[in-house]
Amino acid sequence: MNAHFSRRRFLGTSAAAGAAFGLDQLRLPRVSAADAHLHPRAVRLRPEIEPLVRLIENTPRERLLEEVASRIRQGTTYPEVLAALLLAGVRNIQPRPVGFKFHAVLVVNSAHLASISSPDEDRWLPIFWALDYFKDSQGADQRAGDWTMSDVDEAALPPPHRAREAFIEAMDNWDESVADVAVAALARTASPEEIFEIFSRYGARDFRDIGHKAIYVANSWRTLQSIGWQHAEPVLRSLAYALLERGDQNPAKADLAADRPWRRNLPLSRTINDGWRNGKYDDGGAVELLTTVRDASDEAAAAKVVALLNRGIAAQSVWDGLFAGAAELPMRRPDILSLHAVTTINALHFAYQTSREDDNRKMMMLQAAAFLPLFRGNLDKGPRIDAFEPSAADAGGVTDIFAEVTRDRMSAARNTLAYLQSGKDAKALIDTARRLIFVKGQNAHDYKFSSAVLEDFSHVSPAWRERFLAASVFLLRGSGAKDNTLIGRARAALTAS
């Protein structure tokens, strides 16, 4: 596929997204001279989106929601707001470390997933939350030195026929300056699919930043699918810079713990039989892998994946074991590390689904298996996702379950399992969980976790689906939690005449 065809395809995707929201494609409104101020060396974006990005950058936090709502009433579309939000973060928030204040960028796709899964009356709420969160992160970045993405060095770009080779060589050598110009050239010449195959490998190659690298690859790609590939270059430059975050030592010249799973798994992946794609589903294989990631080392977990595939067990059984292993960690230790086990497996599974290269797909499974014991650490006690019992009494309805989440999460998980096993509506539970994030969510992790786990409910086999969703209540918001302060302001801004 050539670059022109890819660009047209993504522009079509963007237009379709606008149509899905019932919005007309109108030109952006005028922006004041003050709003047009830009650092003289900052990267310039496409002219059709630059004014809206500057509006987001330069409007004070206390006025931003109202200003954006006004533009929406004048005809600014959902894809335009989504694009401007992502690009404002990419231009203004340093992607190192890949987390912390950079969640303003990482959370954009999670907010988008929540938005497109919501009823019409709630559809803008996640995006407005993310707009406000950007202003918080922008302030943190300014206090830390005010990093801004600069223009690419056009004179240093490799010729088009060398862009791919130069980028891979720079990434392998952890060379930031060469990678920056090479990825700009690659964005202008290669197809989106080719670029994703390259980035998915580098997103999964090390365990630094507890999975955020893989998450950024998946989330940036997915958002670009909605806003259009014409916006890809600055996003890919930010992404490459994030993936090269490494600390003081160059991993190309050192043997560092964060890099060892990838280096072991590369030769291990070549021992997987050619017929691995044709395996048969076996729930016992999922249990085997769950037991391994629960108790064994990262090396043993990857080896178990190979053994299962070579026995003719389907990749879906492998992913069931991985999803279950990730979902179990918040039950045993409901903290930020366990949360990122769930969101990282979501990102690696997306890469597995999206990739068309067998070598990449095998490495996504092996890295996911290796990462779970690293997330687990020395944890050796707690509930087990395949063993906890549903409530003996009537669990009640969805309202009762989310009231119990606030009081006793283990009891809520047992009630959820009883509710689902009795054949009641999973969608009602999922919709309520998502709406409670809008009303009660306090940080980016609420959106990241809920979007990942509610999406992966459909990726888990029916034999595991109920337990997977029941385990999620350990990190979802209950109805008794405090409302966030933004929800009223967002609704008021959107309904103002």
Q: Is the pLDDT of residue 216 over 80?
A: yes
C-alpha radius of gyration, the chain, whole number: 23
- Tell me if residue 87 falls in helix, strand or coil: helix
Type of residue numbered 460: V
The model's confidence at residue 170, banded by pLDDT at 50, 70 and 90, is very high
**DSSP assignments along 330-346, one per residue:** HHH--SHHHHHHHHHHH
Q: What is the pLDDT of residue 202?
A: 98
- Whether 25 has a pLDDT exceeding 70, the answer reads no
3-state secondary structure of 384: coil
Supply the pLDDT for residue 1: 34
DSSP 110-143: HHHHHHHTS-GGGTTHHHHHHHHHHHHHHHHHHH
Angstrom CA distances, 135 to 122, 131, 138, 166, stand at: 21, 7, 5, 36
| Tens of pLDDT, residues 64-80 | 999 999 999 999 999 99
List pLDDT tens digits, range 304-321: 999 999 999 999 999 999
The band of 42, judged by pLDDT with boundaries at 50, 70 and 90, is: confident
Distance CA 410, CA 388 (A): 9
Among 81, 107, 83, 102, which Cα is nearest to 92's? 102
Q: 3-state DSSP call for residue 150?
A: strand
Among 352, 439, 339, 436, residue whose Cα is nearest residue 106: 339
Distances (CA, A) of 408 to 265, 396, 447, 474, 478: 40, 15, 21, 9, 10
List the domain boundaries for the chain.
Answer: 1-253, 257-376, 398-474
Task: State how far the Cα of 132 lies from the Cα of 126, in Å rounded to an integer.
Answer: 10
Q: Is the pLDDT of residue 408 over 60?
A: yes
The per-residue pLDDT for 3 is 35
Q: How confident is residue 281, by pLDDT bands cut at 50, 70 and 90? A: very high
**With bands split at pLDDT 50, 70 and 90, how would you rate the model's confidence at 393?**
confident
Q: What is the pLDDT of residue 19?
A: 39
Average pLDDT over residues 150-162: 97
User: Could you give the CA distance from residue 170 to residue 230 in angstroms, rounded to a whole number?
Assistant: 24
Work out whether the CA dihedral 411, 414, 419, 425 comes out positive or negative.
positive
Long-range contacts of 167-170 (CB under 8 A, 24+ apart): 167/198, 167/240, 168/198
pLDDT confidence band for 380 (50 / 70 / 90): confident
The pair of three-digit structure tokens given for residue 308, joined into one six-digit string? 């299962």
CA-to-CA distance for 11 and 16, rounded, in angstroms? 9
As a whole number of angstroms, the distance between CA 341 and CA 36 comes to 41
pLDDT(2) > 70: no
Residue 6 pLDDT more than 50?
no
Q: Where does the pLDDT of residue 16 fall: very low under 50, low under 70, confident under 90, or very high at 90 and above? A: very low
Confidence at residue 39, expressed as pLDDT on a 0 to 100 scale: 59
At 8 the pLDDT is 37
Question: Please, what is the end-to-end C-alpha distance for the chain in angstroms?
Answer: 47
* The pLDDT value given to residue 497: 60
Q: Are 223 and 37 in contact (CB under 8 A)?
A: no
Pick from 67-76, 162-171, 387-396, 447-456: least confident: 387-396
Q: Quick one: pLDDT at residue 40?
A: 55
CA atoms within 13 A on the CB side of 323: 32
Q: What is the pTM of this model?
A: 0.91
Average pLDDT on 167-194 reads 98
- Look at residue 451 and tell me whether its pLDDT is greater than 60: yes
Mean pLDDT of 31-58: 76
Spatial distance between the Cα atoms of 364 and 384, rounded to a whole number of angstroms? 25
What is the model's pLDDT at position 28? 32
What count of residues does the chain have? 497
Hey, how many other C-beta atoms are within 10 angstroms of the C-beta on 397? Answer: 15
pLDDT surpasses 70 at 481? yes
> Count of CB atoms within 10 A of residue 442's CB?
14
Q: Where does 230-368 show beta strands of DSSP type E?
A: none
Tell me the three state secondary structure of residue 313. strand
- pLDDT at position 23 is 35
Task: State the average pLDDT over residues 31-35.
Answer: 39
- The DSSP-derived string for 435-478 is HHHHHH--SHHHHHHHHHHHHHTTTS-HHHHHHHHHHGGGSSPP
Structure tokens, 451? 């979007």
The mean pLDDT of 226-248, rounded to a whole number, is 97
Q: Determine the average pLDDT of the residues in 178-187.
A: 98
Q: How confident is the model at residue 27 (pLDDT cuts 50, 70, 90)?
A: very low
- The pLDDT confidence band at residue 21, using thresholds 50, 70 and 90, is very low
* Range of weakest confidence among 115-129, 354-368, 447-461: 115-129
Chain mean pLDDT for the chain: 92
pLDDT tens, 255-265? 999 999 999 99
What pLDDT score was predicted for residue 18? 40
pLDDT at 395: 73
Give how far the C-alpha of residue 156 lies from the chain's centroid of Cα atoms, to the nearest Å: 32
Q: b/e for 132-170, b at 16 or more Cβ within 10 A?
A: bbbbebbeebeeeeeebbeebeeeebbeeeebbebbbeb
DSSP symbols for 10-58: HHHHHHHHHHHTT----PPPP--TTTT---TTBPP--TTTHHHHHHHHH
Is-contact 217 200, C-beta < 8 A? yes
Q: What is the mean pLDDT of residues 184-199?
A: 98
Residue 60's CB is within 10 A of a number of other CB atoms, namely: 8
What backbone phi and psi angles, to 5 degrees, belong to 32? -70, 165
Question: CA angle, corner 331, sides to 326 and 337, nearest 5?
Answer: 55
Q: Which amino acid is at 92?
A: N
